[in-house]
Chains A and B, each alone.
Chain A
């Protein structure tokens, strides 16, 4: 069977990683390419880069970043942020990105999902969804949780799957940053109805949280940022622990 994936996520602004990283032996903690290389050496299965650049130069810096990563890193990676149309995705694909992730652009223009899947294949299209529990419902949020939509998360996931999404990256805003564990109940419920891969995100604080989400919700991958960046969890240790608990991982 396919192994469970561990995915570090890097926030990038103007071609530099924004969250501090305290690895040893790092010449430049802000260089996303060096970080990506380090993570690939540690045994990360995949990487996600979220570009939060807000300038007109963003497209150029994104393309340069993608090319540099593809030149030096021998594992797959996804890039998200600022992809609003087919041509944005096309240039990233041709620069070496394996997948693109879209979030609010998909909510604003759901047809974009169909267009991307038709043009590049569904395996290329990751739909990122930020969800938060509001008045008894799981609702899709935009702009890092600042904007609440009326879309119910479960329905939105069904819709994007029908439209040709190849994978779902689901971040629980209720759990994100808490380090109290992934949102097992929600992820389990979603995963039972899903026929495409699901990446769990939000809440990782210790190695057991990863074991729990794989064992209890059977998600395909788990994504985290700070626990990896600050060296609180080392990927080789994490994978050994997961394997000890009979979870199939690439070691």
Chain B
């Protein structure tokens, strides 16, 4: 059973719909006291990373998340929350992965937000991408990105520069794209995560 960390940050209807389509069971988790009930966790998130971090802290789950030893998947802003710091609101975040979340600046000569389907390439072998062809398209919507890191980046995309499309550190995983909106490749990724 997947526990979806419910800290009041945005739309999770599409995520739960995608899990339903894959017959993956889930429940909402609003308190760290319930963490023992679940064998997987998803941290969703849209909008402002700083504001999301504040909500996560107010929910009382922020510190407990760092201690989870089961697979955890952060999606979009949920992934950014796992980094040390975001330029969005100059916010200190969970610091699970020692990388930073940065803004796509104007000198990159790309439109912001990065919105649409972009190819994702493997940087290192990871079971999250089992059965997904290298270079598959995933759907992205974001203005801030996680810096590429040769240790933690497991898949990258290119948008003015190479950035982390997916990372992992121990049992923690993050994807910058929206698997719940990324067609069959995204559904496969959710399925892979549920089977970790």
B184 engages A220 (CB within 8 Å) = no
B112 engages A74 (CB within 8 Å) = no
Tell me the complex Cα distance, A27–B117, Å: 30
A195 engages B106 (CB within 8 Å) = yes
B116 engages A96 (CB within 8 Å) = no
Contacts known (A3-B118, A74-B186, A121-B47); A195 close to B18, Cβ less than 8 A:
no
Q: Which of B8-16, B79-87, B92-100, B146-154 has 4 or more CB atoms under 8 Å from chain A? A: B8-16
Contacts known (A96-B17, A197-B116); A2 close to B140, Cβ less than 8 A:
yes
> From DSSP, what is the main secondary structure of chain B's interface residues?
mixed
Residues in A75-117 with C-beta less than 8 Å from chain B: 75-76, 93-98
Tell me the complex Cα distance, A213–B186, Å: 29
A74 engages B115 (CB within 8 Å) = no
Tell me the complex Cα distance, A97–B46, Å: 13
B17 engages A70 (CB within 8 Å) = yes
B181 engages A75 (CB within 8 Å) = yes
- Chain B residue at smallest Cβ distance from A5: B116
Interface residue tally of chain B, by bracket? 35 or more
B-contact bits for A28-47, CB 8 A (1 contact / 0 none): 00000000000010000110
Which residues of the other chain, B, contact A2 by a CB distance below 8 angstroms?
Answer: 114-118, 140, 159
- Chain B residue at smallest Cβ distance from A74: B183
A40 engages B17 (CB within 8 Å) = no
A67 engages B13 (CB within 8 Å) = yes
Say yes or no: is A71 at the interface (Cβ < 8 Å to chain B).
yes
Which residues of the other chain, B, contact A67 by a CB distance below 8 angstroms?
Answer: 13
A45: which of B17, B21, B116, B159 is its contact (CB, 8 Å)? B116
A250 engages B143 (CB within 8 Å) = no
Say yes or no: is A221 at the interface (Cβ < 8 Å to chain B).
yes
Residues in B1-30 with C-beta less than 8 Å from chain A: 10-11, 13-14, 17-18, 20-21
Tell me the complex Cα distance, A165–B106, Å: 17
Residues in A1-29 with C-beta less than 8 Å from chain B: 1-3, 5
Say yes or no: is A167 at the interface (Cβ < 8 Å to chain B).
yes
Residues in A168-198 with C-beta less than 8 Å from chain B: 194-197
Which residues of the other chain, B, contact A167 by a CB distance below 8 angstroms?
Answer: 115
Which residues of the other chain, B, contact A94 by a CB distance below 8 angstroms?
Answer: 11, 13
Which residues of the other chain, B, contact A194 by a CB distance below 8 angstroms?
Answer: 111
Contacts known (A1-B159, A70-B14, A96-B14); A123 close to B141, Cβ less than 8 A:
yes
A196 engages B111 (CB within 8 Å) = yes
Say yes or no: is B191 at the interface (Cβ < 8 Å to chain A).
no
Which residues of the other chain, A, contact B18 by a CB distance below 8 angstroms?
Answer: 74
Least distance between A98 CB and chain B CB atoms (Å): 7
B183 engages A123 (CB within 8 Å) = no
A-contact bits for B97-112, CB 8 A (1 contact / 0 none): 0000000001000011
Least distance between A167 CB and chain B CB atoms (Å): 7
Residues in B163-196 with C-beta less than 8 Å from chain A: 178, 180-184, 186-187
Residues in A197-227 with C-beta less than 8 Å from chain B: 197, 220-221
Residues in chain B within 8 A of chain A (CB atoms): 10-11, 13-14, 17-18, 20-21, 46-48, 106, 111-119, 137, 139-143, 158-159, 178, 180-184, 186-187
Residues in chain A within 8 A of chain B (CB atoms): 1-3, 5, 40, 45-46, 67, 70-72, 74-76, 93-98, 120-124, 166-167, 194-197, 220-221, 250
Apart from A71-B21, A75-B139, A221-B116, list 9 A-B contacts with CB within 8 A.
A3-B119, A70-B13, A74-B181, A74-B186, A75-B183, A76-B139, A122-B113, A167-B115, A220-B115
- Lowest 5 A-B CB distances belong to which pairs? A96-B13, A250-B137, A121-B47, A2-B116, A250-B117
> 17 A-B residue contacts at CB 8 Å?
A2-B117, A2-B118, A2-B140, A3-B117, A3-B118, A40-B183, A72-B17, A74-B18, A74-B184, A76-B141, A93-B11, A96-B14, A120-B47, A123-B143, A196-B111, A196-B112, A220-B111
